[in-house]
Amino acid sequence: MMPLLTTKGLSRNFGGLRAVDGVDFALMPGEIRAVIGPNGAGKTTFVSLVSGRIQPSSGMIVFDGADITGLPAYIRVRQGIAYTFQITSVFANLSAYDNVALPVQRTLSDGRSKGAVRTGVMAALERTGLADRAHMPAGQLSYGHQRLLEVAMGLALKPRLLILDEPTQGLADSEIDNFITLVREIAKNATVLLIEHNMPVVMQLADRITVFNAGKILAEDTPEAIRENAAVQEAYLGTAP
């Protein structure tokens, strides 16, 4: 089986800082991959490069066999890459329903069909447990529910690769349990790339874990092997809260 996503020598410099430094990475279809590491390790910069929010200083990104390195973010969305942000980016003055309707319309050949839009919106809201809040202004949702609304917006794009950046931040324990169930369900039809600091969530969800440190991949293995890795313990797990 061919990887869905690969990067080769991927780097991004900010002045004298090399935030991502020569990263070679491969993600298989249907995989749930967690990316972990200390603050400033380059995790968000890496997924921002993959999604097209920023351009690399050097290196290559290949998605489903095609070189997408120079493509803008909106083209990558059309090709099946959806990204939820570390900081919520919902439209606060629109209802939860209307926030999700915007990406749903992108996926429909006739985006003006109200019935098709409603079906797509409510399916995404139901999957994320927000159906009963469909008509609330997004800005009035709790922070945790805004995070879930972003996931619903990502799901509405019917992505082949869903990138989630700190998705459990702000969620209550009961909501985290539901989120874990949701991600496992998403992975039946899509590949998931997850940046997450909540290690119990990572250990429950991930098929494999990639550990970043100082812009490079420090280790990459199964959750069990990563937990036992001395270098990872020293760089991250040993000092994690």
Q: How many CB atoms lie within 10 A of CB 240?
A: 11
Q: What is the 3-state secondary structure (H, E, C) of 28-92?
A: CCCCEEEEECCCCCCHHHHHHHHHCCCCCCEEEEEECCEECCCCCHHHHHHHCEEEECCCCCCCC
Report the range of poorest mean pLDDT among 119-128, 133-142, 168-177, 223-232. Answer: 168-177
- Measured over all CA atoms, what is the biggest interatomic distance in the chain, rounded to whole angstroms? 56
Q: How many CB atoms lie within 10 A of CB 35?
A: 25
Q: What average pLDDT does range 62-75 have in this prediction?
A: 95
Alpha-carbon span 168 to 57, nearest angstrom: 31
The structure tokens listed for 39 are 């603050």
Does residue 87 or residue 97 have the better pLDDT?
A: 97
Task: Please give the DSSP secondary-structure letter assigned to residue 219.
Answer: E
Q: pLDDT value at position 152?
A: 92
Alpha-carbon span 169 to 46, nearest angstrom: 19
Q: Is residue 221 pLDDT above 50, yes or no?
A: yes
* Among candidate residues 93, 96, 92, 116, the one with its CA nearest the CA of residue 106: 116
Q: What average pLDDT does range 210-226 have in this prediction?
A: 95
Q: Which residue ranges make up each domain of the chain?
A: 5-80+160-239, 94-158
The structure tokens listed for 180 are 């874990």
What percentage of the chain carries pLDDT values higher than 90?
Answer: 68
* Among candidate residues 241, 85, 221, the one with its CA nearest the CA of residue 231: 221
Q: pLDDT value at position 110?
A: 60
Q: What average pLDDT does range 10-31 have in this prediction?
A: 95
Residue 201 neighbours by CB under 8 Å, 6+ apart: 168, 176, 179, 180
Alpha-carbon span 28 to 54, nearest angstrom: 23
The structure tokens listed for 129 are 């447990």
Alpha-carbon span 9 to 50, nearest angstrom: 13
Q: pLDDT value at position 164?
A: 92
Q: pLDDT value at position 240?
A: 44
> pLDDT-based confidence at 143, cuts 50/70/90?
confident
The structure tokens listed for 220 are 């990459």
Q: Phi and psi dihedrals of 148, rounded to 5?
A: -65, -35
Q: What average pLDDT does range 14-20 have in this prediction?
A: 92
Q: Is residue 107 pLDDT above 90, yes or no?
A: no
The structure tokens listed for 187 are 């992975």
Q: pLDDT value at position 85?
A: 63
Compute the Cα dihedral for 121, 122, 128, 134 and give only its sign: positive
Most confident of 108-112, 166-170, 197-201, 208-212: 208-212
Q: pLDDT value at position 108?
A: 79
Measured in whole angstroms, the distance separating CA 44 from the mean position of its chain's CA atoms is 10
Alpha-carbon span 193 to 83, nearest angstrom: 9
Per residue in 152-167, pLDDT tens?
A: 999 998 999 999 988 8
Does residue 113 or residue 88 have the better pLDDT?
A: 113
Q: Indicate the pTM of the whole model.
A: 0.88
Per residue in 119-142, pLDDT tens?
A: 999 999 999 999 999 999 999 999
Classify domain 5-80+160-239 by CATH number. 3.40.50.300
> pLDDT-based confidence at 3, cuts 50/70/90?
very high
